[in-house]
Structure 1
């Protein structure tokens, strides 16, 4: 208890002294002092303070060796304090201003990391995700032997998975909407689901979502056939059955085969397509 009695006031004094020292440097110190103090704060992990001081000196030190380092440290300070947009801005400025600088490789990599860490969840706009992929890809192209290469490549895969998930959510939304807000004979939402899913498979052929997209295409084609005017039903049911056979061939162990079979059986029962036994007899 006695220890706590003395240690808490002592800690308060230390904190107040530290704050006073920081404020004094921020307000009245020379640019050289601010620069050196910023590096000390950075080494201690006090990134917000380092960032404030570096922002004060960055323009004055521009064009000097210290200017190059201060710009890089400013990017790292913002990255570590989770101000990712500011970090990306400073890293971009660094590798643009110093294309052959001491920290250009790192700035390129951490630019990608800054965008990577600011990407939103899949259901939101993925513009930032595309920028992050571009930054990492440009880094890999420029530094193919970098120690960061493997991590950058892994981050690209993760970001691509996020784009795939966004496309899957879009495709599923189209399917769930069905004929909502549409004339029941047009099936436009089902067509949109098919196009979205086919584009995703074409762009990301090895995605783990491939079966999910394929099944959405299968179901949408059967729904589209069912909602069609009579003159188009036979053609669209035949197209849906072709999709059924493709799905069955590509995913022979799928848990969805039973439901897929029922869609096929319904088309046969309606008389728009022949059963496999009837086709074999012919």
Structure 2
């Protein structure tokens, strides 16, 4: 019996709360709406808070309250986990209120929302690049901010993700034995990220891609391609003389020399 009474009271409480909220939506008492919107926000009921703030924004446009309302709307989206929407609202806030005391925070939060939206490395990395640009903009604009170390950590994390994405893309062509495309993609990855932790792997894949392309080429293209592979070999061993790929690289140079030696003999 007590359980039934408790459920009934809970239902009545929820219904009453909904009823109060519905009355607020229909009310013309804007100061009360503003007060209740902040209460909803503080209790983390971001949907109700955002709805009320959105209703109030055009009413208070042109007044000092519009700035505060816009600021709350941005954080309602952020609190709801809608980081795309939050980023949009924070950027819009900066455009509308460039001299606001909340400008620095809004610039940081717009960058942070990009960071939170950054997907796994195998997916499109547009948000990752946007995050790096936005975080760097914040660092440039507020070089003395206490958030700078955190921003640098986020940028490092995003850069690592781009490096890994580049590595995966290049490796994809290599694994599928699409050697002409692999060569281009591997060269681009090495050029774009010269300090990559995958540099040894990338350079070896480039060497092997050139070697396999030469081996599988028609006769009139083999000599030129073996010479390119030989150049790639020397670049690789110069940089990684004790590479984990040393034995495989040596086997390839033996094959190159064996093929090219007949031209040296003929000449």
Which shifted more, 197-206 or 141-150? 197-206
Q: Does 1:263 align with 2:252?
A: yes
Q: How does 1:223-262 map to 2 (within 5 A)?
A: 223-262=212-251
**1:221–1:240 Cα contact (<8 Å) kept:** yes
Q: Which moved more, 1:169-178 or 1:41-50?
A: 169-178
* Matches of 1:273 and 1:145, distance apart in 2: 63
Does 1:168 find its partner at 2:167?
A: yes
How many residues are treated as equivalent by the alignment? 262
Gaps spanning 5+ residues in structure 1: where?
179-188, 275-282
Deviation of the 1:137 alpha carbon = 1.5
Question: CA offsets, 1:145-195, max 9 Å, x none?
Answer: 1122222222222222222222222212222333xxxxxxxxxx4232222
Cα deviation digits, residues 228-258 of structure 1 (max 9, x gap): 3333323322322332233234334543333
State the distance in 2 between where 1:260 and 1:61 align.
Answer: 71
Whole-Å separation in 2 of the counterparts to 1:254 and 1:218: 13
Distance in 1, matches of 2:240 and 2:35, equals 63
Aligned mates of 1:233, 1:109 — CA distance in 2 = 55
Alpha-carbon distance in structure 1 between the residues aligned to 2:255 and 2:105: 60
* Pair 1:220 & 2:195 matched: no
CA distance in structure 1 between the aligned counterparts of 2:135 and 2:104, rounded to whole angstroms: 11
The alpha carbon displacement at 1:83 in A equals: 1.3
Shift of 1:75: 1.0
User: Secondary structure of 2:197's partner?
Assistant: coil
Cα distance in 1 between the residues matched to 2:102 and 2:260: 67
- In the alignment, which residue of structure 2 is the partner of 1:272? 260
User: Paired residue for 2:134?
Assistant: 135
- The alpha-carbon distance between structure 1 residues 166 and 102, as it changes in their structure 2 partners (threshold 3 A), is same
Offset at residue 219 of structure 1 (A)? 1.5
Partner residue, 1:279? none
- Give, in angstroms, the shift of residue 76 of structure 1: 1.2
- Asked if the contact 1:122–1:165 (Cα under 8 Å) also holds between the matched residues in 2, the reply is yes
SS class of match (2:129): helix
Query: Which stretch of structure 1 is more off in the superposition, 237-246 or 64-73?
Result: 237-246
Structure 1 residues 251 and 9, CA gap change in structure 2 (3 angstroms): farther
Q: For 2:78 and 2:105, how far apart are their aligned partners in 1?
A: 13
Q: How far apart, in 2, do the equivalents of 1:193 and 1:32 lie?
A: 64
Measured in 1, the distance between the counterparts of 2:13 and 2:242 equals 67
Q: Is the 8 A contact 1:234 1:273 kept in 2?
A: no
Cα offset for 1:5? 5.4
* Alignment correspondent of 1:97: 96
- Does the 8 Å contact 1:38/1:53 carry over to 2? yes
Q: Any stretches of 5+ residues in structure 2 without a counterpart?
A: 263-267
Q: CA RMSD in A?
A: 2.3
Deviates more, 1:244-253 or 1:98-107: 244-253
Instruction: Confirm or deny: 8 A CA contact 1:237 1:273 kept in the other structure.
Output: no
TM-score normalized with structure 1 length: 0.83
C-alpha contact 1:51 1:74 (8 A) present in aligned 2: yes
